[in-house]
Amino acid sequence: MFTRRVATAERTTEPDYEYAPMRIDPEISRSAVASQLSLYAEFGGWELARVQRYEDGTRRVLLRRKRRTGRDAYDGLPLPGLMR
């Protein structure tokens, strides 16, 4: 469904957030993408930081969530990525 992550979660200028960039193929429907991103938001705590759409229909999505510390640092959920 989604193509591989462009990179793993990374620290940028905002140290309170972790990021998960994704690239979405043009043949994936808008409703399928919305459903998948909703699941990431509800169960993983991710929010949409940026969406870029290219001329060929490919979308680049940047998700972010607040960095967790202590016992809640690892919630057992993988980073958003390849789903087929």
Q: For the chain, 84 residues long, give each residue's pLDDT as a single digit of tens.
A: 454 444 444 444 567 898 999 999 999 999 999 999 999 899 888 999 999 999 999 999 999 998 877 665 655 556 666 444
* Distant-in-sequence, close-in-space partners of 41: CB < 8 Å, separation ≥ 6: 47, 48
| Rounded alpha-carbon distances, angstroms, from residue 84 to 2, 9, 12, 36, 75 | 7, 20, 29, 12, 23
Q: Is pTM, for the whole model, over 0.85?
A: no
